[in-house]
Amino acid sequence: MKKKFVIICLALAICLQLTAQTYKIDTSTIIFENLQRPCFTVKYDASPKTVKNAWDDYFKKTYDVKVKGIGFLTNKEVITATDITLAAVSDKRMNLYASVVDAPGDRSELSYFMSFGYDFFIGPENYPTEFTAMKKILNDFSVEFLTDFYYSEASRMTSEIKGLEKDIKKNNKSINKNTKKARKESKEVASGLSAKNTSMQMENEQAKRKIEELAKAIDDIKVKQAGVTRN
């Protein structure tokens, strides 16, 4: 009975892990132009630059809005799109801001806020409808970005595993060839071939450990992919 209870608990833990949300949007504030501004914040596994580029691509593709502050020769902490029309939020002219900074654990934190011109920043109290619309945009972006990001990461790791497996196969072929050759050569030559084999065997062991790490990382990504749900 006790054993069954433990199994059930483990199964529940796995289910909770698989259904846990990968990202969480919080209502917060940010200091901008020396004042507290209402914003939404969310953390991602990607680097700030990756998030900024994705943010720019998303608004360009979805709303025909060009975000400034990220590019070949510039990488500002706060990226902006000023004097724009974003019908999903309002028919008025507005400014769009996003602060993307490093977060603990090789992650990044995005703080996203908007204003109707100078000092009229959208918040849950003064512009509740527009603020809710802002959150929908952030959810849309998060789902699309993370889906693409995790797929790309898993593909990259899978390619790396294939490359390592190819290296192991190549080393094994060389090891077999050296072993056969050593039987026909002098002790000195055989000793040199044996040293080469030892080196390649060590390379193979390192490659196998790396493959195990990558395989685990891919499993973790699959869990995160399952948790990419709107909130």
Digit-coded pLDDT (tens) for 67-104: 999 876 667 889 999 999 999 999 999 999 999 999 99
Give domain status of residue 8, yes or no. Answer: no
Residues found in the chain: 231
Pairing of β 26-32 and β 35-44: antiparallel
Give domain status of residue 67, yes or no. Answer: yes
**CATH at 128:** 3.30.310
Give domain status of residue 9, yes or no. Answer: no
Around Cβ 36, how many Cβ atoms within 10 Å?
A: 12
What total of structural domains would you count in the chain? Answer: 2
Amino acid identity of residue 215, one-letter, is: A
- Helices 48-63 and 128-182 sit at what angle, rounded to 10 degrees? 120
Give domain status of residue 11, yes or no. Answer: no
Q: What is the pTM for the complete model shown?
A: 0.84
Sheet of strand 107-115, all strands in order from the earlier edge strand to the far edge = 26-32, 35-44, 107-115, 90-103, 75-86, 68-70
Give domain status of residue 5, yes or no. Answer: no
- Give the structural domain span for 190: 150-226
Co-location of 156 and 208 in the same domain: yes
* Bridge partners of residue 75, in order along the sequence: 70
Digit-coded pLDDT (tens) for 34-55: 999 999 999 999 999 999 999 9
